[in-house]
A and B are shown apart, each in its own frame.
Chain A
Amino acid sequence: MNRSVKTAIQIGGIIGVIFVCAAIMYFGLADSLGKTYITGTKTKIIDWTSHYKNMLIIVMLISMFTSLLWYVLSRFVFKITSCFGVGKRAIWLVICVVNVIGVLLATALCSNDTTLKVGFSLYIIHVILFSVVGYYLTSVLFTPAAYKYTPVGANLIKLKK
């Protein structure tokens, strides 16, 4: 398999994993969560779900952007100039923090809509799906070989294969 195909598969994998997380959220969890959140309000579940879809798209795009940013940096930008690879993990961590803040901020700002009443549990679920799985796991699985141990804990997961 040549590098271009491998690159395409990795990018496709990152997008696919995050997209599946969004799909799980929308088709699997949104309905039951929404029903809990709208209890006592005059919002119908169908309206809540419709507004939630917009929030979900934004959160998904933030996760995709940060994950692809790390991939692009590690695949095309970073150069190995020393055996230590100093500073790459710090960059990974910064992007991780940006991802988490972005996901939380997007959730908070979108839920200012009176139709979209949400609970604390939604913030937790978004972080798990779009930061832990969407950013961390995709960076562990799809980071190019030169930096495959840069994500924190990646060496433990890789070595277990």
Chain B
Amino acid sequence: MKKIVGIAILLVMTLVAAGCFFDKEESLGELPYLPYAAMPDTEQNKSVGVDVYWDATCSMQGYTTIQQQNTYQRLPDNLEDIGISMGEIHFFRFGEEIQPLEGREHRQFMTPEYYTELITPIHKVVEQADGKHLSVVVSDLFESDADWSNVAKQIKSKYFENHQSVAVIGVKNPFKGDIFDVGYSAGGKFFYDSGTDAAKYRPFYMLVMGPTDDVRSFVAKCKERIGTGANVKYLLFSEELVEKVPDLNTIDYSNSENIFMDSKLQVPDKRMVEFGVNDKSATVKLETAINYKPFADVCQIDTNSLQPVIKVSKLENGEWVEETDVSAIRTSLEEKTDSDNTFVYNMEFQPNEVLNADSVTLLQTFIVPGRDGLHLPAWVQEWNMDNQASFDAGQFDGSKTINLVSLMSSLKDSSTTIKYPSIANIFMVIKN
């Protein structure tokens, strides 16, 4: 009896020892970056190049003539200060041509005599702007539909398609001077004097374009120097609709079934979380509770229109290849009534229907506003003037901007149709 026990013990010990030398799985190396999502910006405290393009047309003169409560006059110094705090800054004046300015020449924008240009080709500025820099266009955005559609198209391809953002900062400022290209009489110019009545101040805008973090940083610094309130408005068009987009590192998924966190793969982005499946014959259920903090300066999100967009990709030859058929994955998204800004998102699938044998599968879920799910803030409509008024001096209101709703709608629609502006991103990678 004891001999049998002894032999059995030795046998088990041998098997256990042999188990320690099982062949290890071959390493796949680092996975490729996430498709459909911006690469994370890992450089901390990097120096940002800020390029300010200033509209030097005659219509802008009027912002410099009234001294009281004049934000525009302080703008050259404020922008220089912001630019230096972010890295380095360069100023340009634009009209017929785009001319770089040297030294402190930009301070001449405080004087009416510096505004001598006749046309405002913002599309040329956007075309020339360096996509790696933060570009700021100071202008009254007095553009026709045709001119703006060209600008919007360029912004879409240069910024939104590259996961970058655009902010519009509107500032109502005292104005006394001529506004050109209004109506057909008097040489197409309109004299407007707001005086010191804040309700009559005329808006000018800063169009801020570039990497999302830089745009947000610029907006934050502007708020510190220029402030907020009835006469200063901010609007951000970005893929990131919330303060910090929740992902699987921050989202609660404690009610999930049949999946566990694993670490066999080298993931290039910490938003991409690796999971394993316990039982390949049982249903995988991911139940998440998503709580998000809306970003103050983005378009209002219609929570009834929120929907999940799922992308499934397989790793083939070192690249992600999209699977077009995602019908095997069942999802639901419901708003929690007992908690503000909280949604419950469920995803279920059978492993054998979605995961191929010996494969790596990436499942990306974006919780996005659906069609017409973003609404422009009320101030855009309040500051808007219809296009018709530009042809009728009798209807022209100097305290408003022609086609502002159209311009902002164009930016909004561009930002939502190209990529996936989302309130939450759920990126799972599974090695089968």
Contacts and interface: CB of A to CB of B under 8 A. Distances in A.
Q: Which of B5, B6, B12, B261 has the most CB of A within 10 A?
A: B261
| Chain A interface category by residue count | 20 to 34
B2 A141 contact: yes
A44 B20 contact: no
B133 to A, nearest CB: 38
Interface string A1-40: 0000000000001001100100110011000101110111
Contacts of B20: 27
Given A35-B278, A40-B256, A141-B2, A20 B9 contact: yes
A16 B9 contact: yes
Closest 9 CB pairs of A and B: A40-B254, A35-B260, A23-B16, A44-B261, A40-B256, A161-B1, A44-B263, A38-B260, A46-B263
A45 interface: yes
Contacts of B39: none
8 contacts: A13-B9, A17-B9, A27-B16, A32-B278, A36-B260, A40-B253, A40-B257, A42-B249
Interface of B is mostly: mixed
B276 interface: yes
A50 to B, nearest CB: 11
A38 B261 CA distance: 7
A32 B276 CA distance: 11
Nearest to A38: B260
A45 B12 contact: no
A161 B255 CA distance: 52
B432 interface: no
A41 interface: yes
B12 A39 contact: no
A111 interface: no
Contacts of B6: 13
A36 B16 CA distance: 23
Interface of A: 13, 16-17, 20, 23-24, 27-28, 32, 34-36, 38-46, 141, 161
A161 B256 CA distance: 51
B13 interface: yes
A16 to B, nearest CB: 6
Interface string B5-47: 1100100110010011000000000000000000000000000
B258 interface: yes
Given A28-B16, A38-B260, A39-B259, 5 more contacts: A16-B9, A32-B278, A35-B278, A39-B258, A44-B263
B262 interface: yes
Contacts of A17: 9
A27 B1 CA distance: 27
Interface in B242-280: 249, 253-263, 276, 278
A20 B262 CA distance: 27
Given A40-B254, A45-B276, A20 B261 contact: no
Contacts of A16: 9, 13
A27 B261 contact: no
A39 B278 contact: yes
B278 A44 contact: no
Given A35-B260, A161-B1, A40 B19 contact: no
Nearest to B9: A16
Contact of B12 (A24, A34, A40, A41): A24
B13 A36 contact: no
A102 B381 CA distance: 73
A40 B255 contact: yes
Contacts of B2: 141
A35 B253 contact: no
Given A17-B9, A23-B16, A161-B1, A42 B278 contact: no
Nearest to B16: A23
B43 to A, nearest CB: 26
A161 B3 CA distance: 12
Contacts of B16: 20, 23-24, 27-28
Contacts of A23: 13, 16
A46 to B, nearest CB: 5
A34 to B, nearest CB: 8
A43 B261 contact: yes
A15 B336 CA distance: 56
